[in-house]
Amino acid sequence: MIALALLTVAAGCHATWNLLLKRSPLQGPGFVWLCAVLTAPVSLGLIAWRGLGPAWWAALVSMALHTAYAVTLQRAYGAGGFSIVYPVSRCTTPVLVTLAVIPWTGAPPPVTWLGGALVACGVLVMDRGSAAGPRANGRRLGRGVGLGLVVAACSCAYTLWDGFAITTLDVDLLSYLAVSNLAQVILLTAVVRPRKALQYWRSAVPVAVLTPASYGLVLVAMTLTSIETVAIGRTLNVVVGTLLGLLVLRERLTPLTTTGLAAIVGGVLLGASS
């Protein structure tokens, strides 16, 4: 129950910062860098308080995976609507995580395979729905679905790595987040134009607060339950994210898209019941 409560709060934070990211005037690595810079003073304070920890290097791997995720996510939002990219990327992740851990946990029960098949069908239906409009618009939304799947792969990768770091390497959560954040600042400073990015600091402040808050709650949940359960529980984000896309961005869901989304959510629920 505690893990579910943490994931529910994290879902609200996650969906909100994704919406703000979609609407941000600054896109690409520059925005990711700006958010990391804004939280850098807190990270320095945490390291001064907690130290680096013996497994500090694990945070560098996490940083690389999270940076790839953030940059790909922005590209996906530039190519497709929020109510398409968000559910595709979030709902596909638990299926990928479940498949990835088979060598260590064994094959899942048949109901999990059925859930995975439902998710795959749902993604294909959503892709077809996006192509139902004008040709150019269909290509644009189709790219959004494809990039949403790439985002899901990135999310799967960092979920597995962070779960390994927490359960096996026994990293300190606060220093782990802090080292990852500072490493991201150093890495991206070499590829962005800081003066231009700093002009948009006001739009980055809420994202800089909500992003670590959201994933920090997820990491705590990982200490209380299995990685697969956390990955499935994070699909609560989809409910919040889709509502935000409809109510705030005024995006329209076509019948095919709605059917695909329902299939994805149904598949995830089947996987959670196994």
In the structure encoding, which two tokens stand for residue 173, read together?
Answer: 């959560």
SS3 of 243, please?
A: helix
pLDDT value at 239 more than 60: yes
pLDDT in tens, 65-100: 999 998 888 888 877 777 678 777 877 888 888 888
pLDDT tens-digit map of 39-62: 999 999 999 999 988 889 999 999
d(CA 37, CA 268): 36
Q: By residue range, what is the domain housing residue 132? A: 2-273
pTM, two decimal places: 0.78
How does DSSP assign 35-95, residue by residue? HHHHHHHHHHHHHHHH---TTTHHHHHHHHHHHHHHHHHHHHHHHS-HHHHHHHHHHHHHH
* DSSP secondary structure string for all residues of 150-193: HHHHHHHHHHHHHHHHHHTS---HHHHHHHHHHHHHHHHHTTS-
Domain count of the fold of the chain: 1
